[in-house]
Amino acid sequence: MRTKILAVLATGAAACAATLPAAAINSYNATPAPERTEVGAFMALWDNTDDGVPDRFDWVCSGTMVDRDTYLTAAHCTDDWPAGTRFYVSLEQDVQSLLDQAAANGLTPAQTAAAFVQAGHAVEGDPHQDPAYPGNSADSHDIGVIDFAGRQTDPADVWSFTSATLPTAGQLGQLGSRALDAASWVVAGYGTQEAQRGPGGQTHPGGGVRMKAPVDFDALNKTWVRLAMTAPQGNGGACYGDSGGPNFVTLGGKLVLAATTITGDTPCYATNVTYRLDTPSARTFLAPYVNLP
Residues that bind Ca ion (CB under 5 A): 47, 49, 51, 53, 55, 67, 69-70, 181, 216-217, 289-290
Residue placing its CB nearer to Ca ion in the complex, 59 or 185:
185
Residue placing its CB nearer to Ca ion in the complex, 49 or 152:
49
Strand partners, 263: 3, 273
Residue placing its CB nearer to Ca ion in the complex, 59 or 217:
217
Q: Nearest approach, Cβ of 246 to Ca ion (angstroms)?
A: 17
Residue placing its CB nearer to Ca ion in the complex, 34 or 234:
234
Question: In degrees, to the nearest 5, what angle opens at C-alpha 91 toward C-alphas 153 and 14?
Answer: 115
Q: Nearest approach, Cβ of 206 to Ca ion (angstroms)?
A: 26
Report how far residue 190's alpha carbon sits from residue 26's, in angstroms, rounded to the nearest whole number. 10
CB 4 within 8 A of CB 241: yes
Residue placing its CB nearer to Ca ion in the complex, 195 or 238:
238
Q: How far is CA 210 from CA 26, 130, 187, 196, in A?
A: 12, 26, 11, 20
Q: Nearest approach, Cβ of 39 to Ca ion (angstroms)?
A: 17
Tell me whether the omega of the peptide bond preceding residue 131 falls within 30 degrees of 0, making it cis. no
Residue placing its CB nearer to Ca ion in the complex, 67 or 139:
67
Residue 159 gets the label, from left (phi > 0), alpha (psi -120 to 50) or beta, of beta
Reported in sequence order, the residue ranges of the chain that DSSP labels E, i.e. its strands, are: 2-3, 31-32, 39-46, 56-67, 70-73, 86-90, 123-129, 144-147, 185-189, 196-198, 201-203, 211-220, 224-228, 246-251, 254-264, 271-276
Q: Nearest approach, Cβ of 205 to Ca ion (angstroms)?
A: 26
Q: Nearest approach, Cβ of 23 to Ca ion (angstroms)?
A: 26
Residue placing its CB nearer to Ca ion in the complex, 20 or 103:
103
Q: Nearest approach, Cβ of 107 to Ca ion (angstroms)?
A: 16
Amino acid at 138: A
CB 156 within 8 A of CB 68: yes
Q: Nearest approach, Cβ of 1 to Ca ion (angstroms)?
A: 20
Residue placing its CB nearer to Ca ion in the complex, 3 or 29:
29
Q: Where are the alpha helices (DSSP H) in the chain?
A: 10-17, 75-78, 95-104, 109-118, 155-158, 171-182, 280-286
Chain centroid to CA 49: how far? 26
Q: Nearest approach, Cβ of 129 to Ca ion (angstroms)?
A: 16
